[in-house]
């Protein structure tokens, strides 16, 4: 009986020692438990060092989209009326003659501001970005004066350029008789005037020479080597100065000037003259 008790006591002690050893071994285990973690992932929890560092983000700056507006053209208003429909007198004659010089007015100068004058003024204004009213304001008048020359009495009374008296030197032989006073060229043979053309001369800085000369070169399709400009039907009489057709004279009239040549604006007229003039013919440039 005593033996049985001792045997039972030994078994109890052995069981207690085994339990203690098991508990101690479980506490020394390095790895985490194999049961779900508090995060509920069922896998190993990442260590603090392994946790990814969120990328630093800069604060978002709102960028305003600027869409430039179309620039508005400045409005140009018409100025105070100086001349207009219904007016008449010398100022209207001056206006019509100036418009004739630049080929905007193709009728006779009458001194009365009618429908033809209104149409001419409207065309002139539209071409130069001036408010189109058909009436003359300060801007229109100043621009027109800048482009034209002061009209002569003949221009304002539909007489064209009236040639002065023939110089005595023009009455003998074959002569290109050029009158600076009346701005004309007359083709004279043995004292008889066969043709008359409007003429334009050199500017103050490049005047057309005066005196008696002779035609020494003719060139139907000449181009100036100095200025690069065309000089059709050129008849040279003094150095580089010649009688020739001028497209500029035809376009702007007496508002311009030559570099010393005698400009002719009638293309067909100077072409006929070119065919008649011979080398050696006399040229007389004078004031009547």
pLDDT of residue 78: 83
pLDDT at 44 over 60: no
Summarize pLDDT for 167-211 with one digit per residue, the tens: 999 999 999 999 998 899 999 999 999 999 999 999 999 999 999
Q: Where are the domains of the chain?
A: 90-156, 168-286
Tell me what the mean pLDDT of segment 57-61 comes to.
53
Tell me what the mean pLDDT of segment 87-115 comes to.
92
Q: Fold match between 90-156 and 168-286?
A: no
| Alpha-carbon dihedral sign for residues 75, 114, 153, 253 | positive
- CA–CA separation, 139 vs 118, rounded Å? 16
CA dihedral 93, 96, 98, 101 (to 10 degrees): -130
Which distant-in-sequence residues (6+ apart) come within 8 Å of 42 by Cβ? 36
pLDDT of residue 156: 86
Summarize pLDDT for 233-266 with one digit per residue, the tens: 999 999 999 999 999 888 777 778 999 999 999 9
Which of the four pLDDT bands, split at 50, 70 and 90, describes residue 122? very high
pLDDT of residue 33: 41
- CA–CA separation, 129 vs 6, rounded Å? 133
Taking the domain 90-156, which CATH number applies?
1.10.101
Q: Element (H or E) spanning 146, and its range?
A: helix 138-147
Higher per-residue confidence, 280 vs 78 = 280
Fold of 168-286: L,D-transpeptidase catalytic domain-like (2.40.440)
Eight-state DSSP code of residue 28: T
Percent of the chain with pLDDT over 90: 56
């Amino acid at each position: 009986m005593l033996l049985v008790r001792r045997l039972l006591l030994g078994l109890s002690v052995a069981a207690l020692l085994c339990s203690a050893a098991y508990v101690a071994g479980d506490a020394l285990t390095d790895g985490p438990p194999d049961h779900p973690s508090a995060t509920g992932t069922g896998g190993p929890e990442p260590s603090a060092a392994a946790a990814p560092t969120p990328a630093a983000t800069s604060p978002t700056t709102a960028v305003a989209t600027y869409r430039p507006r179309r620039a508005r053209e400045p409005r140009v208003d018409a100025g105070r009326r100086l001349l207009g429909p219904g007016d008449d007198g010398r100022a209207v004659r001056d206006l019509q003659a100036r418009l004739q010089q630049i080929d905007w007015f193709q009728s006779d100068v009458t001194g009365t501001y009618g429908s033809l004058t209104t149409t001419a003024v409207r065309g002139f204004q539209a071409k130069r970005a001036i408010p189109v009213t058909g009436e003359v304001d300060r801007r229109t008048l100043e621009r027109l004066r800048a482009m034209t020359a002061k009209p002569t009495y003949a221009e304002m009374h539909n007489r064209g350029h009236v040639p002065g008296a023939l110089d005595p030197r023009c009455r003998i032989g074959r002569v290109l008789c050029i009158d600076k006073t009346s701005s004309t060229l007359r083709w004279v043979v043995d004292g008889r005037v066969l043709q008359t053309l409007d003429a334009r001369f050199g500017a103050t800085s490049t005047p057309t020479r005066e005196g008696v000369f002779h035609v020494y070169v003719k060139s139907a399709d000449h181009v100036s080597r100095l200025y690069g400009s065309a000089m059709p039907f050129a008849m040279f009489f003094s150095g580089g100065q010649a009688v020739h057709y001028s497209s500029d004279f035809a376009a702007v009239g007496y508002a311009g000037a030559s570099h010393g040549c005698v400009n002719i604006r009638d293309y067909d007229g100077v072409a006929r003259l070119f065919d008649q003039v011979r080398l050696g013919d006399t040229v007389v440039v004078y004031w009547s």
